[in-house]
Amino acid sequence: MSEKKCIISWDRLHRDCRKLSQRINQMDRKWDGIIAITRGGMIPAAILARELGIRVVDSISVRTYSHQQIEEPVILNDVSATEDGENFLLIDDLVDTGVTAKFVRQRLPKAYFATVYAKPEGRPLVDTFIAEVPQDTWIYFPWDLHLDYVKPIAKEADE
C-alpha cells in the first residue's frame, strides 16, 4: 500500500479549528473545560478554548506512536481537572486507527470527543470532526514542517 501525503497549513488548521468551534458552540452547552490529547491536540485545544471562551484547559499525554510505528498506549501524564470527563471537551488533531481514541475513551468515558480530522478506522470513536482523510494518507501538520525556498522550474526564472 502506497502512503499518500496531506500537508496541513497553519491557515487551514486554524480555519478547520474555527469550524469545529462553531459546530460545538451550536450545541448550546456549558463546558467545564477542555482536555487536550498531547501533543497533537494542544494547538487545536488552544484555538477552541479561545473561540468558546473556555479558561480551564488540561491535558492528557498518551504515547501510541514512536517513529510512525503504533505501540501499546501509555499515559505519560494524566488529566487532573476531571475524573471521568463529564462536561469536558476532549480535543485531538486527528483520530487515525483509533488506538489512542479507544484508550482515552476508557479513561474519560463521559467527555465529548472532538477531532479536527478523522480517518475511517477511527471515525466511529469520536463525537464530531471536521474533515475525513483517507486511511492510507499520512497527515503532516504545520508543526511537523518548515518553510524553505524552492527554486523556480525554469532555470532562467531564477535570474
Which residues form the catalytic set?
92-93, 96
Residue 85 annotated as binding site:
no
Percentages of the chain per state (helix, strand, coil), in multiples of 5: 30, 30, 40
Q: Which residue type occupies 99?
A: V
Q: Give the CA distances from residue 84 to residues 41, 49, 65, 78, in Å, rounded to whole numbers and listed in that order.
A: 18, 20, 24, 12
Residue 16 annotated as binding site:
no
Residue 97 annotated as binding site:
yes
Nearest to 128 by CA among 81, 99, 95: 95
* Beta-bridge partners for 88: 33
Residue 138 annotated as binding site:
yes
Residue 94 annotated as binding site:
yes
Residue 158 annotated as binding site:
no
Residue 128 annotated as binding site:
no
C-alpha to C-alpha distance for 120 and 84, rounded to whole angstroms? 26
Annotated binding site for xanthine, which residues? 96, 139
Annotated binding site for guanine, which residues? 96, 139
Annotated binding site for 5-phospho-alpha-D-ribose 1-diphosphate, which residues? 39-40, 92-100
Annotated binding site for GMP, which residues? 96-100, 138-139
